A and B are shown apart, each in its own frame.
Chain A
Amino acid sequence: MLHDQLARPLDLAGTNVILTGGGSGLGRAMAIALAGAGANVALSGRRTAPLEATARQIQAAGGRALVVTADITDSASVKAMVDQAISDFGKVDVLVNNAGMVRGQGGVALWDITDDQWRAGIEANLTGAFFCARAVARHMSERGRGKIINVSSGYGLRGARDNYMYACAKGGIVQLTRSLAVSLGRYGITSNAIVPGLFPTEGTADSAMELPSGEFIPVGRVGDPDELGPVAVWLAGPGSDYMTGEIFVVDGGGLAGGIAPTGHAPVAELARG
């Protein structure tokens, strides 16, 4: 294992991954990167056609992908998804809890949010990840090895205007990540979260959230979904074996600041009393 960490930190040959929300956006980009590093990837999502498109892209590059249509907010469907991945692949090493819902989140005043909107947002962006972790953890614990990679958001760490469900659910993802780490470490299972900054995708294009343009991001641009690939590969591979309960922020510098507008750079002499 020590040898692997140095010599092959990015080699995922023989590593089997379940990735939720693999049909679009960041999920598709991470799936393609994981497969490119040698992993076999079970792509799950509610709609089959986009998953099949991602699978074809992986297969065309010589990778192995499996399509599993599933609704992560339905625990029976999640169990069937995990069972199918185990039966096809023989084992599952990594879960990437990527699926979430950006559409319909945000842009609604507090007093206009209905009970159903609140529940749907929390279910899609927090409950689903919990169901998937729960469904796969027993299998991983029996093997004494597993990695759970959750996808949170900058809005999981900072407040978001008129955006209650998404921010609360993504903050919950950070706490899920830590609790999984503390509880499952003894079984050889690690749990970490990727915190992406602004990466324009099909989902964000449809959302009513207030998203900054590249100009307001410290590095001066938005992220490219392909930039999450290397982080996902590193977290799925042996190089990150000692990391657990932690977050990996990829956001162009946004969360390093936040106390003043981007570019605010005052100059002041040392005041003396």
Chain B
Amino acid sequence: MPPVPAFRLDGKKALLTGATEPWGSVIAHALAEAGADVAVAGRSHEDTGAAVQAARAAGRTGIQLQLNSDLPEEVEQAVRQVVGELFGLHILVNCPGAGYARPFGQIDEESWQRVFELNFLAPMRWTRAAGSHMTAQRYGRIVNFVSVLAERGMANGTALSATQAALRGLTQSLALEWARSGVRVNAIGLGWYDLADQPAEAQLKEKLVRFLPLRRKGRPVDVASLVVLLASDASDFTTGQTIYVDGGAMAHA
């Protein structure tokens, strides 16, 4: 059975950025379970502590980095630190961005800047800093998270969909730019996710949930094994793609 072990990440070093809970723990655990050592970057120990613990609970090294990702030099320093402490860097996972919904006329300049900062410029900076290491070693796997709003519109969703389409665009152009450098750049597209672990019966009271073909919202664990697949050697022929895991939301008329 040759292809299946290729899902393993033994010997690989992964960096998880923008981790908030529960995304951080679920993804860190999945990467570590597959054999990777994991660095988790965030603004505070409160944001990243659980994810680091999850990696260690799976028996791998987990390290924590505190920084302000608004600042390019801090991001670059953090990548150098990961390479130094984990002895390498092969995988970058930029966790899902922040939600935001507001009527277009009510979004002020500062909010536009902040939404782009959090949801686009921060993952762009991590990709640039980690990518320069990856292209030099001619191996890398970058996994961005975007939302179905990268592809579709929604009332009150102007700012969010603009950032998500921006990150999706970066993903596919960069995939081509680095296609011959051994670096693969893909994204996972999220639909409606429930981070509070509400039971399916309770969710069905929502009209939105009844609209979804699978009749429930997603949970972070629903994409955990896909992160591992895209981060693995098995995905060498997959690049520039956004794989949507949305319970059928986008298939809907």
Q: List the interface of chain A (C-beta within 8 A of B).
A: 2, 5-7, 9-10, 32-33, 35-37, 61, 177-179, 181-186, 190, 197, 218-220, 223-224, 226-227, 229-231, 233-234, 237, 239-246, 248-253, 255-257, 265
The answer to whether B176 has its CB under 8 Å from any CB of chain A is yes
Measured between beta carbons, the chain B residues less than 8 angstroms from A227 are 3, 234, 236-237
In the complex, A132 Cα to B98 Cα: how many Å?
42
Pair A257/B176 contact, Cβ less than 8 Å: yes
* Any A CB within 8 A of the CB of B117: no
Q: Which residue of B lies closest to A256 (CB)?
A: B240
Chain B residues within an 8 Å CB radius of A243: 222, 226, 243-246
Asked if B175 CB lies within 8 Å of chain A CBs, one says yes
Q: Given the interface contacts A10-B225, A219-B237, A220-B179, does A33 sit within 8 Å of B29 by beta carbon? A: no
Question: In the assembly, what is the distance between CA of A52 and CA of B29, in Å?
Answer: 41
Residue of A9, A218, A246 near B224 (CB, 8 A) is A9
Given the interface contacts A5-B224, A61-B1, does A242 sit within 8 Å of B247 by beta carbon? yes
Compute how far the CA of A207 lies from the CA of B30 in the bound complex, rounded to whole angstroms.
42
| B207 on the A face (CB < 8 A) | no
Expressed in whole angstroms, the Cα–Cα distance for A130 and B115 within the complex equals: 44
- Closest chain A residue to B217, Cβ basis: A242
Do A239 and B3 touch across chains, with their CB atoms under 8 A apart? no
> Are A182 and B252 touching (Cβ within 8 A)?
yes
Which B residues from 183 to 239 make CB contacts under 8 A with A? 212-215, 218-219, 221-226, 228-229, 232, 234-239
Number of interface residues of B (CB under 8 A): 50
Tell me whether A230 and B239 are in contact (CB under 8 A): no
Query: B176 — which chain A residues lie within 8 A by C-beta?
Result: 218, 253, 256-257, 265
Task: Determine if B6 is an interface residue (Cβ-Cβ < 8 Å).
Answer: yes
> Do A253 and B239 touch across chains, with their CB atoms under 8 A apart?
yes
Whether A229 touches B213, Cβ cut-off 8 Å, given contacts A2-B219, A9-B225, A253-B240, is no
CB neighbours (8 Å) of B224 from chain A are 5-6, 9, 239
* With contact pairs A35-B1, A230-B7 given, residues A256 and B241 touching in the complex (Cβ less than 8 Å): yes
Q: Which A residues are CB-close (under 8 A) to B243?
A: 243, 246, 248
B11 to chain A, nearest CB (A): 18
**B173 neighbours in A (Cβ, 8 Å):** 256
Nearest first, the 8 closest Cβ-Cβ pairs linking A and B are A36-B1, A256-B240, A245-B251, A185-B213, A239-B225, A9-B225, A229-B3, A242-B222
